[in-house]
Amino acid sequence: MTALTAKPWVWSFAAAILVWVITVLFTGGSSSVGLSQATLTFAAFSVIVGIGQMFVITLGPGNIDLSVPATMTLSGTLALKVMDVQDSMIALGLLIAILVGVAIGIGNYALIKLLRIPPIIATLSMSFIVQSCAIWTNRGLRIKPPETLSDFTTSYSFGVPNVALVALVLSLAAWFLLEKTTYGRWISAIGQSSFAARMAGIPVDGTRFITYVLCAVLAAVAGYLLASFSGGAALNMGAEYLLMSIAVVVIGGTAVAGGNSNVPGIWGASLFMFLVVSMLNTYGFGAGVRLILTGLIIIAVILAAGGRRVAR
Amino acid sequence: MTIKRMLLASIAIACVTAPVSASAETADKKIALSNNYAGNSWRQAMLTSWDKITKDAVSQGIVAAADPFTTAENQATEQAAQIQNLILQGYDAIVINAASPTALNGAVKEACDAGIVVVSFDGIVTEPCAWRIAVDFKAMGESQIEYLAEKMPDGGNLLEIRGLAGVSVDDEIHAGIQAGVEKHPQFKIAGSVNGDWAQDVAQRAVAGILPSLPEIKAVVTQGGDGYGAAQAFAAADRPIPTIVMGNREDELRWWKEQKDANGYETMSVSIAPGVSTLAFWVAQQILDGQDVKKELVVPFLRIDQDNLEANLETTEAGGVANVEYSLEDAQKVIDAAM
């Protein structure tokens, strides 16, 4: 039990389960299946962008990717435009989305490394360029996703939403990368002390470069899925996911100062973030109260998780 | 430095000499559009309409220039700085879609003091020296309940999808809906979520509250959120209620599909993005020396069961149902306010 409460991610799951129970109580239990499915569906998108952001934040103080929303918008817009409602183009669309992610990731790191711009500024300026490209590509017109792809993203396998299964596969890969590979050790080492990491012979620049590309690619994939799920790309479709991607990382128990991260927490936090809004909507709170309560609840969860770590 | 000084001097001369020839001619007048946001399909359509109508006007020599400027961050401070730049650049009129009804008043006053005509539309400013082309958003909200009351006299539960919290338009439409519900107490708002005028946000919010809601007879909306709501209902395997739409092409196309399949009935209401062109003509008329009331009202664009097909045909795929205004339309709006 102590071993379990010592894990920083336990708190986000505990909070998610608590909020789920309170929400379901409103209807006496009849909403449990519907709410669970909706939660898994929408948490999936936050999980995918959250994992990318988590890798970047793990790199240590100052590392953050603010180009996530613009990347989602551009990859969704471009992929749907290229696919143009044809089922045969689905794979090509995914490839385009991934390439968009790779290009933006390279661009981000080029600004950070070559021009020595701090990541927060570099990725923000990159996001303006990317967002303008998205506007220029299609001027905000919505193109429908191919039928098969849209069916896939909106349906269920064994009662579990397909997008949640995709997020699960990506999470397992991320967990493996973080815990079982040299690369995972390297980013943790860089996050704890980039100077020590460099002295130990770790290729710091190469590792950071790969991490920024990885984050952009995950955001691009999330954009591709979200655009297919919601029936077309919109210019503001990524806006929700900037703060979301950072919030799920922090609530999930990843150290904001870097060097220590975990994948399960991203899931707990993503489920929690969707459920909190649903709970407050269900109980009929107005927008003002809802935002205040959301803030307070998030602070409470972070304090609970952080407090344990101090006590340990 | 000397060039800068010369430029400033020539602007000053232009400003001094301009009023002399103002009474009938606008051929040498420059109009600027100050726009706070471009990040959704409605705003893109608004800019496209502006471009189309003003290019014609410039090539016909009606005005000398009509340049659109959009701020990057949707911030009132940024837009205030932009307006100050436009004043220095010597525009004769500034047409504004404002980030805030009050925060730009200082900059707008400066423009007025410099002799510049300021016309605000959609996102209007409260500064008395500016003209306002307002939409009666409250009536827009109320019209939804009126429609539903006629369609389902027995009433029932409503789900309300609101816009972006804290924006005045959201409060006004909501007030209209509330007034409508008070007048027709057979309706009850069973749930309310914020959809931020975006399909994916609306879909997410509706999917979250839907499992806890009783049977919903109708969904009242603010535009840009109807299709997302429909998808959330379909995903939850619930009967599709009457969803009021917001003139987006995907909403209209979905409505048409449902209408053909099972006789689905609803209505759709929003303001046409082409209202920017109305603001342009109003500014041109003011520069032309016409007497124009400070408060003008633009009608909203409503689509019903019988004119759905016609509107769908003229709406660009993936865009928004739109109307572009001509000089005559603007004169009608001006006369109506007299």
Residue A8 · residue A305 · CB < 8 Å: yes
Do B35 and B68 share a domain, yes or no? yes
**Structure-block tokens of residue A186:** 């390297």
Does residue B14 lie in a domain region? no
Check whether B26 has a pLDDT greater than 60.
yes
Residue B99 · residue B75 · CB < 8 Å: yes
Between CA A11 and CA A265 the distance in angstroms is 8
Which candidate in A20, A49, A154, A230 is best for mutational testing of the B interface (most B CBs within 10 A)? A230
Nearest to A36 by CA among A13, A50, A48, A20: A20
Model confidence band, residue B88 (pLDDT cutoffs 50, 70, 90): very high
Task: For residue A44, list chain B residues with Cβ-Cβ distance below 8 A.
Answer: none
Residue B325 · residue B274 · CB < 8 Å: yes
Q: Render B103-158 in DSSP notation, one character per residue.
A: TTHHHHHHHHHTT-EEEEESS----TTSEEEEE-HHHHHHHHHHHHHHH-TT-EEE
Residue B118, beta-bridge partner list = B94
A206 burial level (CB within 10 Å; 0-12, 13-18, 19+) = exposed
Q: pLDDT by residue (tens digit) across A181-218?
A: 999 999 999 999 989 999 999 999 999 999 999 999 99
Residues of chain A above pLDDT 90, percent? 58
Q: pLDDT by residue (tens digit) across A226-240?
A: 999 988 888 888 888
Tell me how many domains chain A contains. Answer: 1
Q: How many C-beta atoms lie closer than 10 Å to residue A103's C-beta?
A: 18
Q: Render B226-264 in DSSP notation, one character per residue.
A: HHHHHHHHHHTTPPP-EE-B-SBHHHHHHHHHHHHHH--
Size of interface A-B (CB pairs under 8 A): 121
d(CA A276, nearest CA chain B) in Å: 10
Give the residue carrying structure tokens 């399960």. Answer: A264
Selecting from A232, A281, A291 the residue whose C-beta is nearest the C-beta of B208 gives A281
Beta-carbon separation of A141 and B41 below 8 A: yes
Task: Say whether residue A194 is in contact with chain B using an 8 A CB cutoff.
Answer: no
Beta-carbon separation of A154 and B235 below 8 A: yes
Beta-carbon separation of A291 and B199 below 8 A: no
Do B90 and B185 share a domain, yes or no? no
**Structure-block tokens of residue A291:** 């935002």
Check whether B268 has a pLDDT greater than 60.
yes
Select the highest-mean-pLDDT range: A59-63, B118-122, B296-300. Answer: B118-122
**Per-residue pLDDT, A99:** 96
**Structure-block tokens of residue A3:** 């071993």
Which residue from A minimizes the CA distance to B41? A140
What is the 3 state secondary structure string of B31-79? Answer: EEEEECCCCCHHHHHHHHHHHHHHHHHHHCCCCCEEEEEECCCCCHHHH
Does residue B257 lie in a domain region? no
Which residue from A minimizes the CA distance to B164? A287
Check whether B282 has a pLDDT greater than 90.
yes
Model confidence band, residue A301 (pLDDT cutoffs 50, 70, 90): confident
Between CA B89 and CA A278 the distance in angstroms is 49
Half-sphere exposure for A20 (CA within 13 Å, toward CB): 20
Do B144 and B47 share a domain, yes or no? no
Model confidence band, residue A307 (pLDDT cutoffs 50, 70, 90): low
Instruction: Identify the DSSP state of A88.
Output: G
Beta-carbon separation of A41 and B235 below 8 A: yes
Identify the residue with better confidence: A3 or A13: A13
Residues of chain B above pLDDT 90, percent? 62
Beta-carbon separation of A128 and B201 below 8 A: no
Nearest to B272 by CA among B328, B223, B200: B223
Task: For residue A275, list chain B residues with Cβ-Cβ distance below 8 A.
Answer: 208
Task: Say whether residue A29 is in contact with chain B using an 8 A CB cutoff.
Answer: no
Which candidate in A27, A141, A163, A291 is best for mutational testing of the B interface (most B CBs within 10 A)? A141
**A window 35-64, beta carbon within 8 A of B:** 35, 38-39, 41-42
Beta-carbon separation of B210 and A284 below 8 A: no
Tell me how many domains chain B contains. Answer: 2
Cα A103–A106–A108 angle (5° rounding)?
Answer: 110
**Per-residue pLDDT, B19:** 42
d(CA A309, nearest CA chain B) in Å: 32
Does residue B308 lie in a domain region? no
Between CA A268 and CA A50 the distance in angstroms is 11
| Domain span holding position B104 | 24-129+272-301+320-337
Residue A265 · residue B228 · CB < 8 Å: no
Supply the Cα-derived Rg of chain B in whole angstroms.
22
B216: CATH: 3.40.50.2300
Q: pLDDT by residue (tens digit) across B40-66?
A: 788 888 999 999 999 999 999 999 999
Q: How far is CA B173 from the centre of its chain?
A: 13
| Domain span holding position A225 | 2-311
Which residue from B minimizes the CA distance to A135? B39
Do B80 and B101 share a domain, yes or no? yes
**Per-residue pLDDT, B294:** 92
Residue A70 · residue B72 · CB < 8 Å: no
Selecting from A41, A141, A239 the residue whose C-beta is nearest the C-beta of B207 gives A41
Task: Say whether residue A237 is in contact with chain B using an 8 A CB cutoff.
Answer: yes
**Helix, strand, coil in percent for chain B, rounding step 5:** 50, 20, 35
Do B145 and B233 share a domain, yes or no? yes
Do B183 and B207 share a domain, yes or no? yes
**Per-residue pLDDT, B2:** 59
A121: CATH: 1.10.3470
Between CA A47 and CA A53 the distance in angstroms is 10
**Per-residue pLDDT, B13:** 53
Residue B254 · residue B230 · CB < 8 Å: yes
Sorted by sequence, the CB contacts under 8 Å of residue A248 that are 6+ apart come out as A46, A47, A50, A53, A266, A269, A270, A273
User: Residue A117 to residues A102, A114, A259, B258, B304: CA-CA distances in angstroms?
Assistant: 19, 8, 22, 52, 54
Does residue B256 lie in a domain region? no
**Per-residue pLDDT, A225:** 95
Q: How many C-beta atoms lie closer than 10 Å to residue B260's C-beta?
A: 9
Dihedral of the alpha carbons of B34, B37, B41, B45, in degrees to the nearest 10:
0
Q: How many C-beta atoms lie closer than 10 Å to residue B109's C-beta?
A: 16
Q: pLDDT by residue (tens digit) across B312-330?
A: 888 888 888 998 999 999 9
Task: Say whether residue A162 is in contact with chain B using an 8 A CB cutoff.
Answer: no
Between CA B327 and CA B284 the distance in angstroms is 9
Does residue B254 lie in a domain region? no
Nearest to A267 by CA among A44, A29, A73: A44
One-letter amino acid for residue B174 of the chain: H
Q: Domain end: B244, B263, B285, which one?
A: B244
Which residue from A minimizes the CA distance to B224? A234
What is the average per-residue pLDDT within B21-39?
Answer: 79
Residue A309 · residue A8 · CB < 8 Å: yes
Does residue B11 lie in a domain region? no
Q: What H or E segment, with its residue span, contains residue B95? A: strand B93-97
Check whether A311 has a pLDDT greater than 80.
no
Task: Say whether residue A23 is in contact with chain B using an 8 A CB cutoff.
Answer: yes
Residues of chain A above pLDDT 70, percent? 95
**Structure-block tokens of residue A228:** 């297919």
Do B56 and B118 share a domain, yes or no? yes
First-last CA distance in chain B = 48
